[in-house]
Structure 1
Amino acid sequence: MRLLQTELKNKVLQSMMNILDKRREDIIAANQKDLDAFDKNDQALYDRLIVNEAKVDGMITAVKEVMQQDDPVGEVISQRKLENGLNIINKTAPFGTIMIIYESRPDVTIEAAVLAFKANSKILLKGGKEAFHSNVVLVECWHEALTENGLDKDWIQMLQMNREETQEFLRNPSQKLDLIVPRGGERLIEFVKQHAKCAVLVSGRGNNFLYVHKDADWQQALKVIVNAKTAKISACNALDKILVDENLPEFESHLKELQKVLKENKVEILVDDKVSGILNDEQTITDKAIWKEEFLALKSVVGSVSNPNEAIDLINENSGGHSSTIMTKDASTAETFMEQVDSAAVYHNASTRFTDGGSMGVGAELAISTDKLHHRGPLGLKQLVTNKYYVHGDGQIRE
């Protein structure tokens, strides 16, 4: 794969910004076709599908932010000279060809492609059929920007395949694949892991927990819970499970206040056995599998624990490894919680909604990785490279 100069890559991105602005009416009109054909009963996916003026502005901003970032390719990670005279330099390098499989969100077509291209990788975009018309126009915009700057359209490709064709492509790809990112639910992730023949970076599953410690500021906890649960139910960083410490002062009255606040925000409540004795008009959990479920809906489980260790164990056993929060005024307890909870992002007195490239200062993101290999958390520009060793010698041989 040819390494492109930073100046050329940035010229493509500047062209893309201009084209998105020029073709915003076409983009929104194409998106309306997708919206008209979509089943609005799935509110989470419908929310992800919408493209309006603000979304187009967001796409342009995402491209601009990546354009303004330093080129991640060719950065020196380490350098050392050995006793035998070999000079060994470890530098960042492109992955090669990245395939991303995603559902509903047309803005991923922009964010994934801009990151891959600036990181000097080709990208294959396999979007969901529900966003077909939107993605066609957005990829046309990319191709126009590439052509305008003398580059091949193959840098950014849209794959149009059904489930069976996708399965066959994963097993026997028609071109070299270096990395696949399935950005969606557990069924999609398992499907890709089952059939892919190259590295798969897992992303997308939330099922996030918040633990209210006995020394929490209760009003602050309520504010954080409402934001994490209701601000954007379709996001993988939305809150699903709320654990309240039984030793919290006024435990029963606080649970009833939490119930009232969640009901005011139209959140369906499920409760464990202990909480059901207090909130007896709510549905009690009968299947423990619910603890592992990501809702993507105005729905939440409220449970109780007797201490931080119990909360940590419950989270580590059931969460998706995405984001977890502790609400407490005790800094020592917070530190222990954050060290022991096995999530990509752990929070102290803050909403899980901040697990996002833009909110974490990374900028546009390819996905939120919950894998432990390579990188965890937002996959921004600097995380979308691998590495390569450059070894300079003067005729050395290994004896």
Structure 2
Amino acid sequence: MNTLLTIDERNAVLRSMAKLVEQEKENILKANKIDLDNYSGDDLAMEDRLKVDDSKIKGMVASLEHLASQEDPVGVERFSFKHENGMQVYNKTASFGTVMIIYESRPDVTVEAAGIAFKSGNKILLKGGKESLNSNLRIVELWHQALKENNVSTEWVEYLQFDRKQTQEFLAHPTQPVDLIVPRGGERLIKFVKDNSSAQVIVSGRGNNFVYVHDQADIDIALNVILNGKTGKISACNAVDKVLIDSHLPNKEEFLKKLVERLSEYNVEFIADKTLEGKLENARPVKSEDEWYEEFLDYKILIGEVDSVSEAIAKINKYSGGHSASIISKDDQAAKQFMETVDNAAVYHNASTRFTDGGQLGLGGELAISTDKLHQRGPIGLQHLVTNKWYIHGNGQIR
């Protein structure tokens, strides 16, 4: 779009959208039921992300209302100085222009991620998966209604109803300007976008998150953090897949027994590294090293043993997705070493990795959780979905 909407226009559209999502709740749920009935159910995590219920609708409405209340992220002065020749120089935040969000399964992305991109002054291109088509199209209708109610062109939010081949072609040779692409989904989707895109891509990466139980761990905290991380929401990228237990942990056998008991209540499958073979009840051995790299998105957990903080750090840095890792320890020095050296977007001390989320970390919401180091790492909130621009005012200066 050529002209940036005013902040009042953007906020008005977001407030209208919040009201419409609330009013049209039953129609959204009906459309989502069609998608759920059509889904094969092969992938437990995808089905969980596909489902819309009252709680998710409330989350969508709250997200839109919160966005409408936030300061404008565009035009914020980051730096200024007066040049010796009299020019006044400013650096300010600026919108990207057009943001394409390509995602699997999650109809709430059609509301929340699109809302963040719209608030930060961008035109939105949405490409959802075929499994959530009915839900997505219904929500996009509401976006268009909200835009029309505020005399704003419906071109600001566009849904691309493409098949895989058309998507591949569009990524390589866009038929309209695309400044930024955000893939939201599994590793295959992210690789597909990176391999084919001619535009910049923010990688919303895989999880495969670790919990390290240090030899000075509080056992109750360790059990609760692992249980929450593994069973709280298996479809989340902040879920736990791997547990490393220090070989010097006092009462290690008792801890392992309790861990198996508590996770077994959720029918979690146990995989034992060779360091723990025969020590974990009902566990199968690791099939290959590939399982250490794998993000499970399922009720399964891989447990191994390490001899030191340094070994835990090395293992996490080798195998994790660069997302989140937690150390459970009463030793602040060990925690400091772990947090400073683990190469993840978010590192925790005595807390669950499930908090790696824009809403939980004070951003109000998120477009994605980036495992890239540029231009923003971890949850990408409203204030991060901007680039910058230099404004120089002179009165005839030449160099």
Report the TM-score range of the alignment, normalised by the length of the smaller protein. over 0.9
Residue 123 of structure 1 corresponds to 124
Deviation, structure 1 residue 204: 3.8
Superposed, 1:1-399 pairs within 5 Å as 1-279=2-280, 281-398=282-399
CA distance in 2, matches of 1:364, 1:47: 20
How much does 1:68 deviate?
0.7
Aligned residues: 398
Write the distance in 1 (CA, Å) between the matches of 2:114 and 2:282.
48
TM-score normalised over the length of structure 2: 0.98
Q: Secondary structure at the match of 2:121?
A: coil
CA distance in 2, matches of 1:14, 1:187: 35
Distance 2:81 2:394 in 1: 12
**Maintained 8 Å contact 2:168/2:196:** yes
Q: Secondary structure at the match of 1:372?
A: coil
- Aligned-partner residue type, residue 5 of structure 1: T
- Once the two structures are TM-superposed, the CA of residue 86 in structure 1 deviates from its matched residue by 2.2
**What SS does structure 2 have at the residue aligned with 1:40?**
coil
Q: Which range moves more in the overlay, 249-258 or 180-189?
A: 249-258
2:302 match: secondary structure: strand
Structure-2 separation of matches of 1:189 and 1:27: 27
Shift of 1:257: 2.0
Q: 1:266 to 1:281 in 2, by over 3 A?
A: closer
The one-letter amino acid paired with 1:265 is Y
Deviation per CA, 1:168-190: give whole Å up to 9, x if none.
00111000010011111111111
| 2-structure distance, mates of 1:40, 1:242 | 28
SS at match of 2:60: helix
Question: Is contact 2:183-2:203 (8 Å) kept?
Answer: yes
In the TM superposition, what whole-angstrom CA distance separates every residue of 1:54-109 from its partner, at most 9, and x where no partner exists?
22121111100101111100000011112222221110000110111111110000
Structure 1 vs Structure 2 CA RMSD:
1.0
**CA distance in 2: counterparts of 1:16 and 1:71, whole angstroms:** 18
Tell me the SS of whatever aligns to 2:390.
Answer: strand
Q: In 2 relative to 1, CA 130–149 (structure 1 residues): closer, same or farther, beyond 3 Å? A: same
1:133-155, CA deviations, whole angstroms, 9 ceiling, x for partnerless residues? 00000000000000111111111
Render the CA deviation track for 1:250-299: whole Å, top value 9, x for unaligned.
12222222222221221101011111131264111131111110000000
Secondary structure, in 3 states, of the residue corresponding to 2:63? helix
Using the TM superposition, name which of 25-34 and 277-286 deviates more.
277-286
Partner of 1:123, secondary structure, is strand
2-side partners of 1:21 and 1:183: how far apart?
Answer: 25
1:339 is aligned with what amino acid?
A: E
Q: Once the two structures are superposed, what CA deviation does each residue of 1:282-318 show, in whole Å capped at 9, x if it has no partner?
A: 1111311111100000001000100000000100111
Which residue identity lines up with residue 258 of structure 1 in the other structure?
L
The letter for the 2-side match of 1:112 is A
Read off the aligned partner of 1:342 and give its amino acid letter. Answer: D
Q: The residue matched to 2:230 in structure 1 has which SS?
A: helix
Partner Cα separation in structure 2 for residue 315 and residue 56 of structure 1: 36
Contact 2:50 2:132 in 1 (8 A): yes
Shift of 1:15: 1.1
- Distance in structure 2 (CA, Å) of the matches to 1:257 and 1:116: 45
Segment of structure 1 superposing worse, 306-315 or 43-52:
43-52
Alignment deviations for residues 187-221 of structure 1 (CA, whole Å, 9 cap, x no partner): 11111111111111000410001100001001110
**Where do 5+ consecutive residues of structure 1 fail to align?**
none
Amino acid at match of 2:151: G
| Paired residue type of 1:306 | D
> 2:205·2:321 contact (CA, 8 Å) conserved in 1?
no
- Spell out structure 1 runs of 4+ moving beyond 3 A: none
Instruction: State the distance in 2 between where 1:216 and 1:122 align.
Output: 49
Could you tell me the TM-score, scaled by structure 1's length?
0.98
Following the alignment from structure 1 to structure 2, what is the Cα–Cα distance between the partners of residues 147 and 117? 15
